[in-house]
Amino acid sequence: MGMLALAFLGLLAVIAFFAPMIANDEPIACRIEYTRADGATTNKLYFPGVKETLRQLPWIGPALFSAAPPFSRMDFKFKKHFKPGRDWAIMPPVPFSPLETSGDRIQGYSGRHWLGTDELGRDVLSRLVYGTQVSMRVGFISMGIAALIGLCLGAIAGYFGGWVDMIISRVIEIFMCFPVFFLILAVLAWFPPRIENIMIIIGLTRWVGIARLTRGEVLRLRELEYTAAARALGAGPFRIVFRHLLPNALAPALVSITFGIAGAILVESGLSWLGFGVQAPNPSWGNILRDGYGLMATSPHMIPPACVAIFLAVLCFNLVGDTLRDVIDPRTRGRGA
């Protein structure tokens, strides 16, 4: 079950990254004859979908794929200049962009729009694909922030003990009292409701579980002989904590992080549903659900896809977390998964 869930999450990750090649109104690859304003005619290969995908790579993407051929930017509209017969193009499986409106409003499932269209005639499947991007990003980045804080503080509290532990443990207890969802709503009253802000707030509040688990694990590990051996070899305290102990203490935190990702996805969906998350017109699973909710009485076709997407993603992260826990903790081995 766990492996199946992991495979599905892998699929989601692939969908998220390759979204511009899966759902796009521009082709993956095309050859177009085009007469420029100065009268010169060009007939070149273009890969707008590929380029858009690669541009998403952090840091190197924008630097590498800005202008140079063969990914060169088309200085014309694909739809306007594309002539079937003369030119050819390989379109993505979902040939609609998530923001592209059309006259086909509020349509049910069809061969053209597999999951129908919304109020503005936007393709729901295309929006769902890009919603995956948002959810994965929120899940991983927010828990990345949480893991960074939680692992560091937990390890420091566990290893140094004494008043350091005392302070960090009290801070953890204080943070545990925060109702995260309402805190986010409150913070978004001051800060622009951008997805980055949501990620940061989730990260800044969800680290406590990770910190507690790491602290407990480090408390156990610091009594082991290899810690004494590292000290006897002349390693300093920070070297011992972050190089020797933390890698050994990762396992339980990893389980917590996996569950945390599921939680973060749920929080983001909830916020988007309320209109505080990803802002229109950009798609997210919560947004799609909200758009569908308004039309539920007459055309409920938008509800199931968004629900199923949220449900499956959260379920799979939880299943993976469960399996991880079974693998890590020998006492539960053989029961679950």
Using CB under 8 A, list all residues that contact another protein: 162, 224-226, 228-236, 239, 244, 247-248
Q: Which is nearer to another protein, 226 or 311 (CB)?
A: 226
In the complex, least distance from residue 328 CB atom to another protein, rounded to whole angstroms? 13
Q: Is 43 left (phi over 0), alpha (psi -120 to 50) or beta?
A: beta
CB of 324 to another protein, least distance (A): 17
CB of 167 to another protein, least distance (A): 17
We find the least distance from the C-beta atom of residue 122 to another protein, in angstroms, to be 49
**CB-nearer residue toward another protein: 206 or 244:** 244
CB of 336 to another protein, least distance (A): 24
Shortest spacing between CB 226 and another protein, in angstroms? 5
Closer residue to another protein in complex, CB, 246/265: 246
Nearer to another protein, 39 or 234 (CB): 234
Integer Cα distance of 241 and 222 in angstroms: 9
Closest distance of CB 47 from another protein, Å:
42
**The 3-state secondary structure of the chain, one letter per residue:** CHHHHHHHHHHHHHHHHCHHHHECCCCCEEEEEEECCCCCEEEEEECHHHHHHHCCCCCHHHHHCCCCCCCCCCCCCHHHHCCECCEEEECCCECCCCCCCCCCCCCCCCCCCCCCECCCCCEHHHHHHHHHHHHHHHHHHHHHHHHHHHHHHHHHHHHHCHHHHHHHHHHHHHHHCCCHHHHHHHHHHHCCCCHHHHHHHHHHHCHHHHHHHHHHHHHHHCCCHHHHHHHHCCCCHHHHHHHHHHHHHHHHHHHHHHHHHHHHHHHHHHHHHHCCCCCCCCCCHHHHHHHHHHCCCCCHHHHHHHHHHHHHHHHHHHHHHHHHHHHHCHHHCCCCC
> Is the CA virtual torsion 193, 197, 201, 206 positive or negative?
positive
Between residues 248 and 279, which has the closer beta carbon with respect to another protein?
248
Q: Cβ–Cβ contacts within 10 Å for residue 169, how many?
A: 17
Nearer to another protein, 60 or 224 (CB): 224
CB nearer to another protein: pick between 31 and 239: 239
By beta-carbon proximity to another protein, the closer residue of 248 and 282 is: 248
Nearest distance from residue 6's CB to another protein, in Å? 22
